[in-house]
Structure 1
């Protein structure tokens, strides 16, 4: 029988290693094997290449990824307590699990293993947006991502123009990736329960010729536009262009429009000028 099925329950692992969830690390552990395997199946196919998990904690999703057929899982974990707690799982995985004690915000994805690289993670809430933006800049290194966010963040990822959730993160994410919401997970599924619903999202980087090779101009432009989203673009983009009204007019865009009225394609065209 698979050694993975003989591992102790996750609650026992947490107790044995003093792995209480810490707020400063954004930890909320998902222990239900049915839910973790559902996430793992959503990321299929897992065979071949490298599956990268960030913030495995006691290893609930890690177990699921291995049980669902991942050939190589690289788990990046900042908390040394979790590294110790994951040691028995690493042994049971028979060489298919590598543990990396590091801050995911500073890890080179390409160095973690051969492509195709898939990121599958229940992201720590406190760094989820920063991690995503970092990965958008490195889309060439990623085949796809199945990630869990707070529901309010997920709604921003898929938001369309002229809605309250549409903003900088919407534009950056949708320019780089096709995005789809998969399913929600209730707070009661976690230990400790967060105050919000969580949502699992799939992000697949677009082909290279369908996105900007350098995301920095689009990042600067959306920061300026949405940083003052109540202002008209002729004012909010004054720091980006010497004559915003002329630039916007040249693209057929109204200088009196506000950031939320522009499409992702509109922002992309503006970023081409801002290079």
Structure 2
């Protein structure tokens, strides 16, 4: 690692700049990157999936921590910089060019893996929903350590009744533990985004019995898609939902944000 030039120099030498279209913002603070890499615990020898490594700032921290990193990068401009890291850490880094939304992540690993990523803002939520909606549970991933815009991070860890509570909170908490690991000021990025960011850490827990992830996903999408309306109206598009509400003792005149995660799980179980 000592033989590698500073990341700023690498970016300048390869003529790289953050792409707004790809939702890129680069992090240069080595201490901050090391702190992010430490959130999932000891990574020495462990397989790690990184999405959108860009020029490799977080990748360096993961490799320093001893992780065996598989990185998926869509931006071909960044591949030469990542190739330098492959040479500097023989056998520790595999780079795949492509769109992370189109790749079967589980097929890349023979053993359980951790996900650590400064997610591109434009695909972060879609990737999170995919990871949280896995039918097989526990999933192949052991934890998700992800950078989001602060407002998205707040929605993931929100509790019922709050203004930020919604579909992401239910999906993240019904069979996982979700916590806010650290806040990241906008000034840490180049270029600085208009919003603050935060690291969310998610670990899978026990799968509730006889609950369909597909049904839970449909319920939350319908309920929070019309969150200002009563459940008797917002859940009309989900067959059997209104009868299920009454069967488990939830008033159909309530609104989506007043139901707890446990309420949604009970409702999904009734429908399953």
Give me the TM-score of the superposition, normalised by structure 1: 0.93
SS of residue paired to 1:202: strand
The 3-state SS of whatever aligns with 2:80 is helix
Looking at secondary structure, tell me which structure has more helix per residue.
Answer: 1
CA offsets, 1:34-83, max 9 Å, x none?
Answer: 0000001112221234111111111111110111121x111111101111
Alignment match of 1:67 (pick from 50, 60, 64):
64
Counterparts of 2:117 and 2:3 in 1: how far apart (Å)?
A: 23
2:270 is equivalent to residue 273 of structure 1: yes
Which residue pairs with 1:122 in the alignment? 118
1:35 alignment counterpart: 32
Supply the distance in 1 between the matched residues of 2:186 and 2:246 (Cα, whole angstroms): 47
Return closer, same or farther for 1:100/1:203 CA change in 2, 3 Å cut-off. Answer: same
Secondary structure of the corresponding residue to residue 210 of structure 1: coil
The aligned residue for residue 46 of structure 1 is 43
**1:214 Cα offset (Å):** 4.1
CA change 1:25–1:6 in 2 (3 A) is same
Shift of 1:187: 0.8
Aligned to 2:216: 218
Tell me the number of residue pairs that the alignment of Structure 1 and Structure 2 aligns.
269
Q: CA deviation at 1:242?
A: 4.8
Counterpart of 1:121 in 2: which secondary structure? strand
Q: In 1, Cα distance between the equivalents of 2:102 and 2:212? A: 19
For structure 1, which runs of at least 5 residues remain unmatched after alignment? Answer: none
Contact kept? 2:112, 2:141, Cα under 8 Å: yes
> How far apart are the structure 1 equivalents of 2:39 and 2:29?
16
